[in-house]
Amino acid sequence: MDVKKEFLKIMSEQKEIALATSVNNIPNVRIVNFVFDSTNNTLYFASFKDNDKIKEMESNFHIAFTTIPHSGNEHVKAKGLVQKSTRTIFEVADQFIAKVPGYKNTIEFAGESLVLFEIRFDTAIVTKDLETIQTIEL
């Protein structure tokens, strides 16, 4: 398996991640849409202001995620650091809409209430199938 090629394929085709946070040793997980920018190895997702996950990420910026396959077993999982992005949802709107066309309505109607976050990670585990699993360094 060309692990880099498979990684980029999964990150471009899959639309959601399960994002895990933990505060005071109490874990939480939720599903969010995402886009991955391969030019700077950054994963972007948005959240509504005042959402509990924002408070959790401000308390502990260490996160874990896995992409969510909707068929087969292909997925990427990683641990990384999350931070509020200096960019806005409007600056990455085209990427989100290309990946999740319905996100256009969300951005149009609630864009001002969305906070953009970015996840940086150095390594990821890429699973193609139950027998083909490799770690990639970014």
Which residue in 13, 131, 118, 121 sits closest to 69, CA to CA?
Answer: 13
Concatenate the DSSP letters of all residues of 59-82 into one string: H--EEEEEE--SSSS-EEEEEEEE
Tens of pLDDT, residues 115-124: 999 999 999 9
pLDDT at 1: 83
| Cβ(107)–Cβ(48) below 8 Å | no
Token output for 108: 């149009």
| Cβ(43)–Cβ(35) below 8 Å | yes
pTM more than 0.75: yes
1: number of Cβ within 10 Å: 12
Where do the domains of the chain lie, and which CATH numbers do they carry? 3-137 (2.30.110.10)
Tens of pLDDT, residues 78-126: 999 999 999 999 999 999 999 999 999 999 999 999 999 999 999 999 9
